Structure 1
């Protein structure tokens, strides 16, 4: 028999409440959760370092590996350039002081081992593709639970010029630094700059320094987006949308840089004002305030430098696209066919017994591996090379055009006669040294313009090039000495120099050089 209460509860339960709850449909309803799951995945390799440090041979529990990893990501991000990355050994050297500060009594070799171990784990050296993978779940349009793979890298090795290998941080690593993931670069940069300006105006320079560093990370991430686009264009111009997406991105980036220039210069002015208006003295708080302001000046200057470099690359993007389009459009198609390893080797060999499969695999690896890959010569290429006549070249090269020479007009202020007259006045080889005032008066009696030339030659003689005169074999040298007497002249002022001529012993000087040799 059923009680009235149970009967009432059964009768008045709405039908929609009795059904099982279902997740919200559509990809937008679950995107926030997926974003947070990817953010956790990017931090997982850093936490895993502290878990796995117990496997190292030795006592390494004193080291905070996640802290060292964040410092390494920071160093790589700030030391990489648009075209190149950060040097591996340089990052290790700059990471050593932070590692040594955690255990100052440990040997330096151990500090270096910890730094290299952390950096190699950020690169994920032990994996095949040197990347990390995380699995998270989302709900599909029909409400079904779907597991997805999230592949990412934190620090990657990229080839450089001359066979060098550089380190570069990825977008995921930069997002780990600034505490966000999949954030729009432009909006994040504007928000960081506005926050930075407000903090500076309020005098909170410690918080402003953190905001400035976040703004710089966003600038690096923006440059990375452009660099990857240009690299993809060099590989295959059809893989990049140069009709709409990339031109819009370049226009927005140029507008963004123009706004940031004005904003950062204003911020730089405010920082310098805050630094200069700080009271002088020995107050520790004031000294810390000025030190923070000085560090902020360096950070904002670095942001301006990176914006300048990004602007030059943006202006070169259009010509690069046209050059790559011409190169790839007229390139000869390749005629080589790649090896289908699975279809031609793995699938036929798997059903065979071991003794038969071993002969196939031994033959394949004997010819497919080794110190030098065998080169196969195509007969058609060899015939073309042998039958193509050599291009005729001129013995002396192409004829050089005759240059059009234009006579340079003589715009000298002083004539040859005036120079000869001035040198005659300054020829004091057989006379005693004279005052500049007397030389100017005598020159004025000869020519009204001549005192300017005499004064010019006398001032030049105040620091005579003795070594040059010796090397050129000069017999005498004009000199001028200031003894503190003031010049009394209606046109010139300054010191009344003592002007004379010194004889040079070039024979003894040459003998001394010979003995030295």
Structure 2
């Protein structure tokens, strides 16, 4: 009996399993940051905790956005750079900023076509069949305003990543979070209360985002939004939500203020002060939400009048894919020829006739034809002046540089000494010597052996700074090393295994 029960439950649809899989999918981009931080070649990103930086980035965007605007890229990068500096204080400032920019671009998913993430999951339908679906989501999106500015906004999935849930009812989550906050404050657990207050604020942001999406859809097309049942119910529930939350948060604010003023421990006083700021921000956001709700009805009536009296479009647009291509692909070739010909005949503009009247025709017929010359005319003389820039290094500079760097076999010179000698001939010779020394740091040994050279120039670093007024870095020892092949390992044609002695 138990085995039959387990088997029957496996074949039944499990919405809870799908919700948990989607919740894990929203955290996959954050985990990918940790796995791929080695790809940030210009900065050593191994000491950074990328998941923490990603959560901090989403947090900064969520707290900066309101109904009209979002977070600015530069300010978000500055805030995340400060957090990165706290993680790895031994790194330099530009490295923290490079890591912050990389994390932000990965959360936006710059480089993809739609800048979104896709996660494939499975679902058991009512018949017991297992099918796979794609879950498309985004974490941070870019929105442009009327003045041409581009701002960042968080999506519902990003907020759910912050609070650790997916598709949670906004109202019930808000009530539960605030009762939990009140209980923690009463018990004096201010550290846990701070986390609960932040979660309540995230839910407030999400509630406002829902309303903003409805209003934006109304501005585009009133018919796409249900203003008869759905939106009025939402507005009524939102007003009740604001009234209850404002009363509740005001009481919480009074309680926190008493904890802050009466605390003797400096840490408790600082935690209480941080809670006061968070709850005040929640009250401010509720006031913004109330203002938008009060203006929602007027916005609907304005958009309804504007869209109703703007008139139908002057020219009906044709959906080429759904109205032309898809039906034609399902038709036989013989039956599809006539619709295709009609489409191109009607879609291509007619060519105007060359002759539009009898006078034009008579004038053309009576025009005397002129004999064209067999020659094309005078051939222009091209300007072959040399306007190219002169070479940067003269032949004399190159000759002197080769002479200085051409060391004898087993002779070793410090790069500082070579540059000091080259500096006497000018900066061009110095740069040529430096170039050859840098190439000698990683010489192409295989090509040297194939050319049959008996020696190669080699440079190795030493544990001291280079002595040069214009350069900084490690000192290099430059030497010419003999290349030799052991006896018996050369073939008759000169090929074979090659070895060299340094």
TM-score normalised by L of structure 2: 0.62
Alignment of 1:108-127 (within 5 A): 108-127=93-112
Structure 1: how far apart are the matches of 2:3 and 2:52?
A: 49
Residue 290 of structure 1: which of 269, 282, 307 is its match? 269
Q: Note the C-alpha offset of 1:199.
A: 0.5
Match of 2:133 in 1: 148
Could you report, residue by residue, the CA deviation over 1:413-434 in whole angstroms, capped at 9, with x for unpaired residues? xxxxxxxxxxxxxxxxxxxxxx
1:257 aligns with 2:242: yes
Match of 2:317 in 1: 337
Q: Note the C-alpha offset of 1:94.
A: 1.1
Gaps of 5+ in 1: 1-13, 280-285, 349-375, 377-517
Kindly tell me: are residues 20 and 298 of structure 1, through their superposed partners in 2, closer, same or farther at Cα, counting changes over 3 Å? closer
Kindly tell me: are residues 343 and 318 of structure 1, through their superposed partners in 2, closer, same or farther at Cα, counting changes over 3 Å? closer
Q: Note the C-alpha offset of 1:51.
A: 1.1
Residue 222 of structure 2: which of 210, 231, 237 is its match? 237
Match of 2:209 in 1: 224
Kindly tell me: are residues 346 and 257 of structure 1, through their superposed partners in 2, closer, same or farther at Cα, counting changes over 3 Å? closer
Structure 1: how far apart are the matches of 2:149 and 2:327?
A: 39
1:196 aligns with 2:178: no
Could you report, residue by residue, the CA deviation over 1:80-131 in whole angstroms, capped at 9, with x for unpaired residues? 1111111111111111111122222222222111111110110111111111
Residue 315 of structure 1: which of 273, 283, 294 is its match? 294
Could you report, residue by residue, the CA deviation over 1:315-339 in whole angstroms, capped at 9, with x for unpaired residues? 1111111111111122222215256
SS at 2:115 equivalent: coil
SS at 1:161 equivalent: coil
Residue 131 of structure 1: which of 116, 128, 137 is its match? 116
SS at 1:183 equivalent: coil
1:302 aligns with 2:286: no
Could you report, residue by residue, the CA deviation over 1:438-489 in whole angstroms, capped at 9, with x for unpaired residues? xxxxxxxxxxxxxxxxxxxxxxxxxxxxxxxxxxxxxxxxxxxxxxxxxxxx
1:21 aligns with 2:22: no
Structure 2: how far apart are the matches of 1:174 and 1:315?
A: 25
Decide whether the 8 Å contact of 1:23 with 1:139 is kept in 2. no
Residue 277 of structure 1: which of 237, 258, 262 is its match? 262
Which entry has the higher C-alpha Rg, 1 or 2? Answer: 1
Could you report, residue by residue, the CA deviation over 1:218-269 in whole angstroms, capped at 9, with x for unpaired residues? 0000000000011111111111111111101100010010001110000011
Gaps of 5+ in 2: 329-348, 350-502
Q: Note the C-alpha offset of 1:344.
A: 7.4
Match of 2:83 in 1: 98
SS at 2:91 equivalent: coil
Q: Note the C-alpha offset of 1:289.
A: 0.5
Q: Note the C-alpha offset of 1:60.
A: 1.7
Match of 1:51 in 2: 35
Residue 42 of structure 1: which of 18, 23, 26 is its match? 26
Decide whether the 8 Å contact of 1:22 with 1:143 is kept in 2. no
Name the Cα RMSD after superposition.
2.4
Alignment of 1:103-502 (within 5 A): 103-279=88-264, 286-334=265-313, 335-338=315-318, 340=320
Kindly tell me: are residues 252 and 40 of structure 1, through their superposed partners in 2, closer, same or farther at Cα, counting changes over 3 Å? same
TM-score normalised by L of structure 1: 0.60
Report how many aligned residue pairs link the two structures.
328
